[in-house]
Every structure is written in structure tokens, then in C-alpha cells.
């Protein structure tokens, strides 16, 4: 069996897809890449919240599998829409690296008043302004090479990005500071690879099960349940991060207003990742009043 893996064309996406190929090969499964261009790749300048947020880097990849042009959709889990399309299953999370965000260019303490930090994420913007309201946050889009090139140009002192992305590209030495996920809560699914397949394709599902990491899938499932309950995408300043130890899932989350002036946080633990994610979302949105922040976006 040769599995066809649908993936974006970006350098990071290709590294991730080839990592999946390597993992499959260890199980005796051959694979090949099917390259797909997404809406988010075609438009590398428009603010993601205007493009539609989550899904702009995933929908075309999912469609390739639904149309039987490929067998597996390979994603960064953070790019997935909160609801899986009918006909597909989130079949495997083969690995998850450190979910933390990082600063590249300068550390937080090294950024003086009025320093300019670039990010395209409303969550990162709000979390940074919550801790450092004296910093100016500017827009950032493009692939990783384009983003890294912004440091030191156009007055940009630093950028915020995912540590896992730099790790996969062999650029982790560029990190100026790892931002502690205890307060700088990561995006749902950050650091994880996510593999989708058709629900009526048992041979592919069986192959993907062989490379699944059960704790990683549990954690991502809890985080995605949180996002689905909110009905939110990456245009909303919110994040959630789950960990698994001895079968116990712990998920923490944050919701913020757009400028980080107000925020609500919470944490739950239990065995059912779906229930935990939904309970956390309802607690932050309804019990703590975070739903008011949604109306701002």
C-alpha cells in the first residue's frame, strides 16, 4: 500500500509531511506527497481574521482527501477548523513537540517601552499586551522565512512564533526567549501534527493508528473540544493547552479582550477530553464572563 499524503507546499509543511512519511516507513508503509495550495498560501498579506481565520490553511487539503485525490491530510493541528468535515476523521496525532510560543529578536525583558513586536495572531497580541501594554504590536504574515526576516527591519524588534516550527526547521537557535505556557497559553493544537483520513477507508485508518501517540491525541482532542464549544477560530484571542499524565488530562485556557486589558483563566482535569474541553469553554465564556470578549471581534 502506498498512501498519498496531501500537504501544503510551504517549507514547514513539507518538513512535517516528510516526517510523517518517515514514521510510516518505520511501520513498512510507503507514501508519497500530493501538494496542495491553500487560500492562506495564495494570500500571504491579508490579516487572517479578514480571510476567515482557522481553515484557510486546511480546507483545500481536506478537500483533496474527500475527493479521493489523496488518502491522508497532513496538518499542523493548530491550522485545523474546530469542526472536522463530514466524511473525515482525525485519525492520528503522530507527535507533539513543545507547544510554547517564543520571541525571536529580543527577550521580553530586552524590549524597551515602545518596542515593536510582530505577530499575526490576536491571541499572541493580547497575551503580550496583557503583560507589556507599553509595547507596540504590528501585523505579521508569510512563511517562516519571511517572518524571521522581519526582525531588525521596518523597526521590528522581535517576532513571536511557535517553538515547534523553529525546531522542525532546525532554527531553534534563533530563540531569544521561550514564553512560559503557564501564562502565555498556546493556540489549540500548537506543536502537534494532525492526520485526517476518510472514515470509510479502514486500511488507511489502520496504518495511521500505528503511528498515533495516544496522549498527544487526547490532549489535542480536549483542546479542539474547547474551541468547538466556543465556536471560535484563530481570530479570537483565546488559547488552550492540555497535558496528559497517567491517563489524566489537564487542560488550561484563557480568553482575553483584544488589547489584553481583561482576561479570564481556568483549568480542569479528568479522563474525558471532550467533556473537559467543553466544560472549560463554558466556564470561561459563561461563568467568568469571557463571552463579552467574543462580541469585540
Catalytic residue annotation: 78-79, 123-124, 141, 147, 234
> Cα 183 to the chain's mean position, in Å?
17
Q: Is there a contact between 259 and 245 (Cβ–Cβ < 8 Å)?
A: no
**Residue 210 burial by Cβ neighbours in a 10 Å radius (0-12, 13-18, 19+):** middle
Q: Is there a contact between 193 and 21 (Cβ–Cβ < 8 Å)?
A: no
Position of cell 509531511?
17
Pairing verdict, β 193-198 and 175-179: unpaired
Q: How many residues does the chain have?
A: 297
Residue 1: CB atoms within 10 A of its CB come to 12
Q: Is there a contact between 74 and 185 (Cβ–Cβ < 8 Å)?
A: no
Q: Is 127 left (phi over 0), alpha (psi -120 to 50) or beta?
A: alpha
First-to-last C-alpha distance (Å) of the chain: 47
Residue 68: CB atoms within 10 A of its CB come to 10
Among residues 6, 84, 86, the alpha carbon closest in space to that of 38 is found at 6
Amino acid at each position: 500500500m502506498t498512501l498519498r499524503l496531501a500537504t501544503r507546499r510551504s517549507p514547514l509543511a513539507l518538513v512535517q509531511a516528510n516526517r510523517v512519511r518517515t514514521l510510516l516507513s518505520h511501520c513498512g508503509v510507503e507514501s508519497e506527497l500530493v501538494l496542495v495550495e491553500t487560500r492562506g498560501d495564495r494570500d500571504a498579506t491579508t490579516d487572517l481574521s479578514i480571510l476567515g481565520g482557522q481553515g484557510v490553511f486546511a480546507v483545500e487539503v481536506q478537500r483533496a482527501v474527500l475527493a479521493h485525490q489523496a488518502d491522508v491530510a497532513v496538518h499542523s493541528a493548530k491550522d485545523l477548523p474546530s469542526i472536522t468535515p463530514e466524511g473525515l476523521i482525525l485519525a492520528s496525532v503522530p507527535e507533539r513537540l513543545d507547544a510554547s510560543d517564543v520571541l525571536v529578536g529580543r527577550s521580553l525583558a530586552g524590549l524597551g517601552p515602545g518596542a515593536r513586536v510582530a505577530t499575526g495572531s490576536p491571541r499572541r497580541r493580547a497575551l503580550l499586551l496583557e503583560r507589556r501594554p507599553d509595547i507596540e504590536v504590528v501585523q505579521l504574515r508569510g512563511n517562516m522565512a519571511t517572518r524571521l526576516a522581519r526582525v531588525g527591519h521596518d523597526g521590528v524588534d522581535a517576532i513571536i512564533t511557535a517553538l515547534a516550527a523553529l525546531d522542525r526547521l532546525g532554527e531553534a537557535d534563533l530563540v531569544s526567549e521561550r514564553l512560559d505556557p503557564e501564562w502565555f497559553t498556546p493556540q489549540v493544537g500548537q506543536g502537534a501534527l494532525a492526520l485526517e483520513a476518510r472514515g470509510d477507508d479502514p486500511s488507511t485508518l489502520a496504518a495511521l493508528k500505528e503511528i498515533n501517540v495516544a496522549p498527544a491525541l487526547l490532549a489535542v482532542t480536549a483542546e479542539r473540544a474547547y474551541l468547538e464549544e466556543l465556536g471560535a477560530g484563530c481570530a479570537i484571542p483565546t488559547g488552550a493547552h492540555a497535558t496528559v499524565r497517567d491517563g489524566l488530562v489537564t487542560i488550561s485556557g484563557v480568553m482575553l479582550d483584544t488589547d489584553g486589558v481583561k482576561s479570564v483563566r481556568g483549568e480542569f482535569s479528568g479522563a474525558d477530553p471532550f467533556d473537559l474541553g467543553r466544560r472549560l469553554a463554558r466556564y470561561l465564556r459563561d461563568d467568568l464572563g469571557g463571552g463579552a470578549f467574543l462580541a469585540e471581534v
